[in-house]
């Protein structure tokens, strides 16, 4: 009996476009995949994108785009997990859910040429099959030289009239597949939207409506006007788990007026601030201890903690997020929320 073949198609999908769908459908047919999971990432770890739509919008757009494709489905696995999205982790989770299946990681040649920058890429390459698709801008044959040609022996170029057989799967693990790719990129769509140009034909119609209705990818001033305060808010469920645990722990100790600032677009030194205050330095110490203990249970430890002794302004630095626990006077005095007035925020 042949094993079920599942494709995993990861990306930022900011937004998903007709090039993605065309590519997935063609790969599915040529590689004999039973289905393909589109997996939008939560935070792309090696992207410097500034105008990245919120995860729930990107997820929704993929869902809308795939409505009429029964073999293509969206998976929220990375968005649910929050934090940085790493393919090696995602693959492990998908493997657990589909123990008998052959898993094929699908990506364009442009992405494959960057594989060296991926977390544990060698383990990833050893853990599943890869299908590398052609895409305008790069020659598919460039793939053979990836990592100094180290993987060339495991690669097979699939000719037009060939399909991927079970025997091939025993012998090779990276398949280079030439497809009739559309010359479309999400970057082009974002740029056109910003300039007020039409994107029709580049994305499926329901995706186009979603972008318009929600004012995604507009120039910043326009966006503010259109979405007013709405765009500057976000909800708990899309925060990384570590941030959620900290919020919960602070609230367990009755911390007051807790605010989360999303700083990802504004600075590179951290992604989130959690700001709160207690009524006494004793309470502040208790909040700090409890957050530290709850995160420790998950094996997450702070880089450092400052100000615990005085309790006026305790700073817990966890790298991609920082917790500030103030006395109420110090909070007013330092006014971090005003200082970072452009940050999207959530008040708990
Ligand atoms: P951006 O311009 O923001 O990088 P993108 O169009 O490259 O967006 P991604 O979300 O980065 O889209 O791509 C996800 C995956 O889809 C990558 O593996 C990429 O190579 C592949 N891909 C994207 N567009 C195409 C296309 N037109 N044809 C084939 N593959 C594509
Ligand atoms: Mg890309």
**pLDDT at residue 231, as a whole number:** 39
Of residues 268, 239, 267, 269, the one with CA closest to residue 348: 239
- Cis ω for the linkage preceding 91 (within 30 of 0): no
Q: Is ligand 1 within 6 A of the CB of residue 113?
A: no
Taking the complete model, does pTM exceed 0.75, yes or no?
no
Give the up-direction half-sphere exposure of residue 25: CA atoms within 13 A in the CB hemisphere.
14
CB crowding 91-120: b at 16 or more within 10 Å, else e: beebeeeeeebbbbbbbbbbbbbebeebee
Q: Ligand 1 pocket check: which of 49, 114, 185, 191 to mutate, most ligand atoms within 8 Å of Cβ?
A: 185
Ligand 1 in reach of 13 Cβ (< 6 A):
yes
Kindly state the helix (H) or strand (E) to which residue 31 belongs, with its residue range: helix 18-31
Q: What is the separation of C-alpha 186 from the centre of its chain, rounded to a whole number of angstroms?
A: 15
Nearest CA to ligand 1 atom 18: 107
Ligand number nearest to the C-alpha of 203: 1
Please report the domains of the chain, with CATH numbers, ordered by start residue: 5-205 (3.40.50.620), 236-347 (3.30.460.10)
CA 310 to ligand 1 centroid distance, Å: 51
Backbone angles phi, psi at 200, to 5 degrees: -70, 140
Q: What pLDDT, on the 0 to 100 scale, is given for residue 45? A: 54
Q: How far apart are CA 220 and CA 113, in angstroms?
A: 32
CA distance 260 to 239: 10
DSSP structure string for 320-339: SEEEEEEEHHHHHHH-HHHH
- C-alpha 272/C-alpha 252 separation (Å) is 20
Atom nearest to 108 CA in ligand 1: 20
Q: What was the pLDDT predicted at 254?
A: 95
What pLDDT was estimated at residue 22? 97
Distance 235 CA to ligand 2 centre (A): 27
**CA-proximal residue: ligand 1, atom 23 (nearest):** 20
Along the 348 residues of the chain, how does pLDDT read in single tens digits? 679 999 999 999 999 999 999 999 999 999 999 999 999 998 755 554 457 888 899 999 999 999 999 999 999 999 998 888 899 999 999 999 999 999 999 999 999 999 999 999 999 999 999 999 999 999 999 999 999 999 999 999 998 888 999 999 999 999 999 999 999 999 999 999 999 999 999 999 999 999 999 889 987 655 555 544 443 667 888 899 999 999 999 999 999 999 999 998 888 888 999 999 999 999 999 999 999 999 999 999 999 999 998 999 999 999 999 999 999 989 988 889 888 888 899 988
> In the β-sheet with 272-278, what is the strand arrangement from edge to edge?
304-306, 313-317, 321-327, 272-278, 256-262, 344-347
| CB of 214 closer than 6 angstroms to any ligand 1 atom | no
> Does ligand 1 lie within 6 Å of residue 132's CB atom?
no
Q: Does residue 135 contact residue 108 with C-beta atoms inside 8 Å?
A: yes
Cα(193) to centroid(ligand 2), Å? 17
Separation CA 71–CA 206 (nearest Å): 19
- Ligand located closest to 143 CA: 1
Q: Are 131 and 31 in contact (CB under 8 A)?
A: yes
């Amino acid at each position: 009996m042949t094993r079920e073949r599942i494709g995993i198609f990861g990306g930022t999908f900011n937004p998903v476009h007709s090039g993605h769908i065309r590519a997935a459908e063609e790969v599915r047919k040529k590689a004999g995949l039973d289905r393909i999971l589109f997996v939008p990432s939560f935070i792309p770890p090696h992207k410097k994108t500034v105008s990245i739509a919120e995860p729930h919008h990107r997820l929704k757009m993929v869902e809308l785009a795939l409505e009429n494709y029964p073999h293509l489905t969206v998976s929220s696995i990375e968005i649910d997990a929050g934090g940085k999205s790493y393919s090696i982790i995602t693959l492990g989770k998908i493997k657990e859910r589909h123990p008998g299946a052959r898993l094929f990681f699908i990506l364009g040649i442009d992405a494959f040429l960057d594989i060296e920058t991926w977390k544990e890429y060698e383990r990833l390459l050893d853990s599943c099959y890869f299908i590398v698709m052609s895409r305008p801008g790069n020659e598919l044959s460039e793939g053979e030289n990836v990592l100094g040609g180290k993987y060339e022996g495991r690669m097979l170029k699939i000719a037009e009239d060939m399909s991927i057989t079970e025997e091939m799967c025993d012998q090779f693990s990276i398949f280079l597949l030439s497809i009739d790719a559309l010359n479309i990129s999400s970057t082009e769509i974002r740029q056109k939207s910003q300039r007020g140009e039409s994107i029709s034909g580049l994305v499926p119609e329901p995706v186009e409506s979603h972008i318009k209705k929600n004012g995604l990818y507009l120039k910043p001033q326009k966006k503010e006007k259109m979405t007013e305060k709405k765009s500057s808010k976000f909800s708990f469920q899309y925060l990384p788990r570590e941030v959620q645990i900290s919020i919960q722990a602070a609230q367990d100790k009755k911390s007051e007026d807790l605010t989360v600032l999303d700083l990802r677009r504004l600075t590179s030194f951290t992604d989130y601030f959690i700001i709160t205050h207690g009524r006494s330095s004793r309470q502040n110490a208790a909040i700090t201890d409890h957050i530290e203990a709850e995160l420790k249970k998950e094996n997450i430890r702070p880089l450092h903690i400052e100000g615990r002794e005085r309790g006026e302004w305790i700073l817990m630095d966890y790298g991609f997020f920082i917790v500030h626990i103030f006395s109420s006077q110090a909070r007013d005095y330092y006014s971090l929320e005003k200082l970072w007035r452009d940050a999207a925020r959530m008040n708990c």
